[in-house]
């Protein structure tokens, strides 16, 4: 008894007369003689009016909260404050503390959000000055232990 491999990665939408494939299935269907090639060939033979559509992959349904949260953009935001020199010193310290962690950017971004909770809001000025007291990272910072440490070189 011959076993057949289940082929997935495509669907047919008969209301729009469209053969929809994911990118992996499409790449496999471009190889002559592959099971995907033979399947697409037989489908297009049975339904010659179908148009082929390739989907790039999974759609992103949640917003990325770290989008545009780069070190450079954080630095530009900090430089807007009157006491930017003090804040930049703390920022550089936090970046240095994040180096041994598996995800240093997340550590710095978490500090930045704690330091500037309203960074996306329109700032309010007092006496034409923008001022915030720097929050220094505690030693040892309890949040450090929530992150995975990278393996040390032996």
Please tell me the pTM assigned to this model. 0.48
Domain edges within the chain: 10-55, 71-146
Residue carrying the six token digits 């471009």? 30
How many helices (H) and strands (E) are present in the chain, helices listed first?
5, 3
17-65 tens-digit pLDDT = 999 999 899 999 999 999 999 999 999 999 999 999 998 767 767 777 7
Q: What contacts 148, CB < 8 A, 6 or more positions away? A: 101, 102, 103
The percentage of residues in the chain with a pLDDT greater than 90, rounded to a whole number, is 39
């Amino acid at each position: 008894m011959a076993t057949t491999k289940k082929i997935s990665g495509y669907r047919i939408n008969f209301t729009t007369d469209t053969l929809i494939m994911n990118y992996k299935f499409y790449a496999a269907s471009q190889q002559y003689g592959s099971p995907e090639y033979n399947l697409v060939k037989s489908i297009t033979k049975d339904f010659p009016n179908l148009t082929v559509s390739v989907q790039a992959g999974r759609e992103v349904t949640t917003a990325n909260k770290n989008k545009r949260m780069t070190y450079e953009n954080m630095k530009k935001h900090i430089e807007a404050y009157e006491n930017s020199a003090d804040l930049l010193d703390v920022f550089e310290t936090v970046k240095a503390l994040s180096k041994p962690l598996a995800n240093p950017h997340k550590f710095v971004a978490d500090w930045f959000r704690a330091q500037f909770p309203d960074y996306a809001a329109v700032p309010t000025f007092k006496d034409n000055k923008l001022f915030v007291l720097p929050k220094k990272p505690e030693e040892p910072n309890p949040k450090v232990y929530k992150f995975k440490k990278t393996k040390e070189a032996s």
